[in-house]
Amino acid sequence: MTTHAHPGRRGLLFVMSSPSGAGKTSLSRRLVADHADLDLSISATTRAPRPGEKDGREYHFVDRPTFDAMAQKNEFLEYAEVHENCYGSPREPIMQSLAAGQDVLFDIDWQGAMSIVDNVPDDVVTVYILPPSIADLRRRLYARAQDEAEVIEGRLARTKEEILMWDRYDYVIVNEDFDMAYAELAHIYHAERLKRARNPWLIPFMDGLQAEEV
Ligand code: 5GP
């Protein structure tokens, strides 16, 4: 399904957060794959690539001095330290997408989400993805087999704190069934794009309607 692109449409920053393992990555990647006018913001991170991850696809993998230099030069729209690693959303590709009339999707933690909300409140929509239970989350993280048990248990312990941020988000989806969660996510995205204020092309369109003879 594609949504309507109009000249003069205001781009949307669509921000998703969740504890890792709650399915946010699969949901966000599918939303981007299904919408040609939605670009994914690829973050820079100092964390090491996991098996199967490719530089420039999941993340731009950089070392700490490179990350710090980028932060120093104000090259991030937002950045934060998450689980002892640094993550940041490079500003330039985001600005290019918005200038080209694209929307941008972010897969970032609550600190980054709230910092974008503070900086550009009118053009941001935030969605939090929750797992159906912590037990389910633990199962998913072990099944994914990308991290050591110690790392997984550390993340689960922090999840309890992270999910307290749920009520700062515009929307919350409980990802019990992938297809249902995806349908909810797509509905949110489509409805948000249709908001009047995001469609300034309606003003000349209305002028045209008014100018028509009855
Ligand atoms: P992971 O290491 O599991 O890929 O990601 C760990 C956490 O960092 C996730 O919650 C993810 O959403 C978050 N994250 C990824 N990129 C960014 C970013 O650019 N900024 C912020 N603030 N968080 C990010």
Q: What is the pLDDT of residues 162-211, one digit of tens each?
A: 899 999 999 999 999 999 999 999 999 999 999 998 899 999 999 999 99
Ligand 1 binding pocket includes 20 (Cβ within 6 Å): yes
Ligand 1 binding pocket includes 58 (Cβ within 6 Å): no
| Res 7: pLDDT | 62
What CATH number has the domain spanning 13-40+102-206? 3.40.50.300
| Res 6: pLDDT | 56
pLDDT: is 7 or 136 the higher one?
136
Is the pLDDT at 9 greater than 80? The verdict is no
pLDDT one-digit tens code per residue, 141-173: 888 877 788 988 988 888 888 899 999 999 999
Is the pLDDT at 3 greater than 80? The verdict is no
- The whole-angstrom separation of Cα 186 and Cα 167 is 20
Instruction: Say which residues have a Cβ less than 8 Å from residue 118's Cβ, sequence separation at least 6.
Output: none
Q: Whose CA is nearest to atom 17 of ligand 1?
A: 108
| Res 154: pLDDT | 87
Domain spans of the chain? 13-40+102-206
pTM confidence score: 0.91
Give residue 132's pLDDT band: very low, low, confident or very high (50, 70, 90): very high
Token digits of residue 97: 């997408």
DSSP states along 43-90: PEESSPPPTT--BTTTBEE--HHHHHHHHHTT-EEEEEEETTEEEEEE
Is the pLDDT at 5 greater than 60? The verdict is no
**Test site for ligand 1: of 87, 116, 148, 163, most ligand atoms within 8 A of the Cβ:** 87
Q: How far is the CA of 107 from the centre of ligand 1 (A)?
A: 7
Angle, vertex CA 14, rays to CA 21 and CA 189, nearest 5:
95
**Test site for ligand 1: of 42, 45, 58, 109, most ligand atoms within 8 A of the Cβ:** 109
